[in-house]
Amino acid sequence: MATWRVIAATDLDDYNVAALMTALRTKGLRDGQADPFAAVMHDRANYVRNRIASRILISETPYAVPPELVSQTCYLIVEAMSTRLSIALELTEDQRTAISRAYKDLDIAGTDRLPISAADDADVPDVQQPGRIVVVTSNTQHWTREKMEGL
């Protein structure tokens, strides 16, 4: 079990230069528009959580992602924020490769090939979750009055 993390704006600085992150959060905003980081982070974190929700119970903490998928989530946030400034700002080849790798990792995360830590505060549902369905066939013989007549 592990503590899942909610991505903070400062976490993105670990994956890109701070000047780029400042530009993505402050440039091209209309008057009164807030920093887009929170909305983009919520969207991308929910995307990651939905990709793995079929195989593991997710954290009750909104927007928290498992520690194994923090870097992937950060790259997806950078990708989404960079589209705002795509005319003035072009991602480097290394950044595009990292973003592509993040999507591939999420494909793997949806399977059992990538271990993901269970959340300390897993959202345990009140009702049984749909799971593997087992079809049971019956060899029931249908007896009729006519078939039973001679017994």
pLDDT of res. 88: 54
Q: Distance between CA 98 and CA 119 in Å, rounded?
A: 26
Tokens of 41: 């982070």
pLDDT of res. 132: 64
pLDDT of res. 66: 95
The pTM assigned to this predicted structure is: 0.74
Q: Distance between CA 118 and CA 113 in Å, rounded?
A: 15
pLDDT of res. 129: 56
Q: Distance between CA 126 and CA 68 in Å, rounded?
A: 27
pLDDT of res. 124: 74
Confidence check: pLDDT of 119 > 70: yes
Identify the CA nearest to 57 among candidates 2, 135, 132, 134. 2
pLDDT of res. 24: 83
- Please tell me what DSSP assigns to residue 122: B
Q: Distance between CA 122 and CA 131 in Å, rounded?
A: 17
pLDDT of res. 81: 87
Condensed to tens digits (0 to 9), the pLDDT of residues 39-73 reads 999 999 999 999 998 888 899 999 999 999 999 99
